[in-house]
Amino acid sequence: MLVGQTAAMTALLIVLWSLTHRDFGYGQDGILYAFQALARLRPSLDADLYLKYGSPDKFTIFSPVYAEFARSFGLTRAGEILLASCAATFLIAAWNLARSLGSRRSAWFATAFLILTVGAYGAGGIFRFSEEFLTARSAGEALTLVALALHFAGHRKGALLTACVALVMHPLMAFPGLLLLLCLWGGLRNGAVAAIAGILAALALSLWAAHGTPPLRILAVIDPTWLEVVRERSQFLFLQLWRPSDWLLNARPFLCLSLSAWAITEPRMRQVSLAALLVGATGLAIAAIASLIGPSALLLQGQAWRWVWITSLFAVLLLPETVIQLWRDARLGPLCAVLLVAAWTFPPIDGTKSAAAALLLAALNSRVETRHGRRARQAAFGVAAIVLLWVVGTTLEYLIHPTNMDDGPMWVQAARAIVGLGLPGLLCVLLLDRWLTRSRSTRAVVIGALPLTVLAAYLLPFAVFSDTGTDWPGLHSEYSDWLRHIPPSANVYVADGHDVPMFTWFTLQRPDYLSTTQSAGVVFSRSIALAVRRRSKVLRPYMSADWRLLDYSRHDSSADASRHDRFRTQPITSRSLIELCSDPRLNYVIAPRIRGVPGIVHEGPGLYRHWSLYDCAEVSRRDPYRMNAPHTPT
């Protein structure tokens, strides 16, 4: 009976995960880690700007692992295998962690909440745990959860060893998990003392770096020139640049976890909720010091605001037990429970405000007489009815007017849209749980699990196989006419107006001259920051897209946003090509045919059919009016 129940619930969770997740392949930061893996197989790519002066790749062992899988399965398939493995490890560890803290039923619901909610943190809507593209964060988060599950299962040595492996996978994501373990081992009081000491140490370090001369380079302050590039490219590192919506987003897990610590009476759950609150708050305090004072290179690169992911994780993981405890209360508890669920699964309302309302009602709960509890419960049912009516109405709208924004049959697209609302998926888990609990026939449970298993097997490939669009690595042989002329370590600029070097990196497998993607590591290297700044000035007459994301965000929020085009390009002429090639760091330019300038025309199929490859050395030799440009180190 237990095996059948487990199989049925597991199949349902796989269905929900398949409907709410997609492997976006090289999307967002996935492109960086795929490139780092490719560079392990093609050492000439180390000449690329992103890797030349050091990158986040030096802080992780993930890239060698990725490269070995790519050597065996190919780059794209390796990413699919590793991301699916990390996602499975993450969810299995989350279930075991929730099971160690509570019951099997609450563990199923906790895992469902993790699948159906978006664990966002940080600024700009960029970061979330359990992302849908492969990075070292994927492995670091999964191993951190394994370490926590081992701890609560009583295997402290295994937890410490796994936490150390997570550290070498992604130090920034694993470090708050290690801090949480240390806080649980040492007790909350000692953890609070250590947190205060850490904040004071960060303050002292920042003041020393800002007003003194630190003896170690790692303690140095980011100088104004470097700081300008970092602020413009990675404004999310500076808490003073966060928008109100960013602060509201990061406040939600603190509010929810505070409510969990108030409502849950089980000692270990209360301890872990308070410890997760402490870790997240300490991270924000250190991040504020790092961005407001100095700033110290070490503290800013440490990105302590990322510690909030642990707070957000446990806010979701403890949600089912919190809701159960609140619902059992005879006064305002049911209304608090409904508001708490709505904070994570009801898109029309502001989740932070809903969580704040739940916490406020919980604080007033002791002042409400029990005889008024019936009205509060009626109010809770009223709110729940409104939410359910909205869900039913939206579901009918998706069924009547299905969207066609994804691959797969229309019913799959409609199911994705409906389950993506959050509450329909939770209702499916609730109904299946009730049926499994009441069913007394093992045969009936097994037979009931079969359709879910078949559906999971059908939907899983839609989620696992990456949605990369163009198979850029697969096009490598189609451009052999250009590849014969481009040395492996030569810098190439493609004048197509895009700031993502998919074609240069994965098709040509050559270093890219400049893109916004390459500037992701400016906070870790002053040399990269200065090189990005200089090269963007070279390209500015021809392409407006560069690393100034903060500047673009200002334009996007201004009144003339409609006139602002981040990807504005100018056609390259023979004169402008000569000026462009005057930079000794640029070796080749790929652009539409330029009259009067000989180039190698690509006559094969593909996006760049009839475009030409121009050798900057040849262009400079043919220019009778060229000026000798001074040699630049970047």
Q: Is a pLDDT exceeding 70 seen at residue 333?
A: yes
Give me the pLDDT at residue 558, please: 45
Helix (H, G, I), strand (E, B) or coil at 88: helix
Give me the pLDDT at residue 374, please: 76
* Neighbour count for residue 353 (Cβ, 10 Å): 15
Give me the pLDDT at residue 626, please: 46
Q: Locate the DSSP E strands across 458-569.
A: 492-494
Give me the pLDDT at residue 627, please: 39
User: Which of 288-297, 383-392, 561-570 has the lowest average pLDDT?
Assistant: 561-570
Is 597 contained in some domain?
Answer: yes
Cis peptide before 295 (omega within 30 of 0): yes
What is the DSSP secondary structure assignment for residue 517, as one 8-state letter?
G
Report d(CA 514, CA 491) in Å as an integer: 9
Give me the mean pLDDT over the 77-84 stretch.
93
Give me the mean pLDDT over the 313-324 stretch.
95
Give me the pLDDT at residue 1, please: 66
Is 409 contained in some domain?
Answer: no
Q: Is a pLDDT exceeding 90 seen at residue 621?
A: no
- State the virtual CA torsion across 81, 85, 86, 91 in degrees, nearest 10: 140
Q: How many domains does one find in the chain?
A: 1
**Cβ-proximal residues to 542 (8 Å cutoff; 6+ apart), any chain:** 495, 569, 570, 572, 576, 580
Give me the pLDDT at residue 571, please: 81
Helix (H, G, I), strand (E, B) or coil at 450: helix
**What are residue 493's DSSP bridge partners?**
589
Report d(CA 383, CA 628) in Å as an integer: 74
Give me the pLDDT at residue 2, please: 81
Give me the pLDDT at residue 376, please: 80
Largest Cα–Cα distance in the chain? 95
Which of 488, 497, 506 has the alpha carbon at shortest distance from 539?
Answer: 497
Calculate the CA 322 to chain-centre distance.
27
Radius of gyration (C-alpha) of the chain in whole angstroms = 27
Is 505 contained in some domain?
Answer: yes
pLDDT-derived band of residue 296, with 50, 70 and 90 as boundaries?
confident
Report d(CA 162, CA 178) in Å as an integer: 10
Q: Which helix (H) or strand (E) holds 358?
A: helix 351-364
Length of the chain in residues, anyone?
634
- In tens, the pLDDT along 108-152 reads 999 999 999 988 899 888 889 888 899 999 999 999 999 999 999
User: Which of 6-15, 447-456, 467-476 has the lowest average pLDDT?
Assistant: 467-476
Q: Locate the DSSP E strands across 129-281.
A: none
Give me the pLDDT at residue 233, please: 87
Give me the pLDDT at residue 370, please: 67
pLDDT-derived band of residue 211, with 50, 70 and 90 as boundaries?
confident
Give me the mean pLDDT over the 26-47 stretch.
91
Give me the pLDDT at residue 562, please: 41
Q: Is a pLDDT exceeding 90 seen at residue 66?
A: yes
- In tens, the pLDDT along 526-563 reads 889 999 999 988 888 777 656 666 655 555 544 444 43
Report d(CA 129, CA 121) in Å as an integer: 8
CA distances from 127 to 28, 169, 378 (A): 10, 18, 38
Report d(CA 180, CA 309) in Å as an integer: 12
Which of 143, 189, 188, 147 has the alpha carbon at shortest distance from 166?
Answer: 143
Q: Residue 308 has which token pair?
A: 């909030």
Top pLDDT among 209 and 615 is at 615
Q: Is a pLDDT exceeding 70 seen at residue 74?
A: yes
Q: Residue 611: which domain range?
A: 473-622
Report d(CA 141, CA 15) in Å as an integer: 22
Which of 364, 365, 326 has the alpha carbon at shortest distance from 342?
Answer: 326
360 in Cβ contact with 332 (< 8 Å): no
Q: Is a pLDDT exceeding 90 seen at residue 403?
A: no
Is 275 contained in some domain?
Answer: no
Place of tokens 């298993």: 453
Residue type, 146: V
Is 320 contained in some domain?
Answer: no
Give me the pLDDT at residue 620, please: 83
Report d(CA 56, CA 40) in Å as an integer: 14
Give me the pLDDT at residue 630, please: 43
- In tens, the pLDDT along 563-595 reads 345 555 678 888 888 888 989 999 999 999 988
User: Which of 176-185, 335-344, 623-632 has the lowest average pLDDT?
Assistant: 623-632
Give me the pLDDT at residue 552, please: 55
Q: Is a pLDDT exceeding 90 seen at residue 509?
A: yes
Is 571 contained in some domain?
Answer: yes
- In tens, the pLDDT along 622-633 reads 765 443 444 444
**Cβ-proximal residues to 404 (8 Å cutoff; 6+ apart), any chain:** 410, 413
Q: Is a pLDDT exceeding 70 seen at residue 218?
A: no
**Percent of all residues in the chain with a pLDDT value above 70, rounded to a whole number:** 90
Q: Residue 467 has which token pair?
A: 């949605």
Give me the pLDDT at residue 559, please: 42
Top pLDDT among 547 and 100 is at 100
DSSP string, 196-240: HHHHHHHHHHHHHHHHS--SSGGGPBPPHHHHHHHHHH-GGG-GG
**What are residue 128's DSSP bridge partners?**
120
CA atoms within 13 A on the CB side of 209: 26
Give me the pLDDT at residue 262, please: 92
From the number of C-beta atoms within 10 Å of its C-beta (0-12, 13-18, 19+), residue 330 rates as middle
Q: 157-171, 207-221, 465-479 — which one is most confidently predicted on average? A: 157-171
Q: Is a pLDDT exceeding 90 seen at residue 272?
A: yes
Give me the mean pLDDT over the 381-401 stretch.
86
Give me the pLDDT at residue 633, please: 46
Residue type, 160: L
Confidence (pTM): 0.91
What is the DSSP secondary structure assignment for residue 557, as one 8-state letter?
T
Give me the mean pLDDT over the 40-54 stretch.
91
**Percent of all residues in the chain with a pLDDT value above 90, rounded to a whole number:** 52
- In tens, the pLDDT along 445-469 reads 888 789 999 999 999 988 888 766 6
Is 37 contained in some domain?
Answer: no
Q: Residue 304 has which token pair?
A: 């302590």
Alpha-carbon dihedral sign for residues 534, 540, 543, 548: positive
Which of 587, 584, 586 has the alpha carbon at shortest distance from 629?
Answer: 584
Residue 573's φ and ψ, nearest 5 degrees, are -100, 175
Q: 91-100, 297-306, 357-366, 544-553 — which one is most confidently predicted on average? A: 91-100
**Cβ-proximal residues to 365 (8 Å cutoff; 6+ apart), any chain:** 329, 331, 332, 333, 336
Question: Rounded mean pLDDT of the chain?
Answer: 87
Give me the pLDDT at residue 402, please: 67
CA distances from 523 to 222, 306, 343, 457, 497 (A): 9, 15, 34, 43, 25
Give me the pLDDT at residue 55, please: 75
Give me the pLDDT at residue 557, please: 46
Give me the mean pLDDT over the 608-615 stretch.
93
Q: Residue 365 has which token pair?
A: 């709960």
Is 568 contained in some domain?
Answer: yes
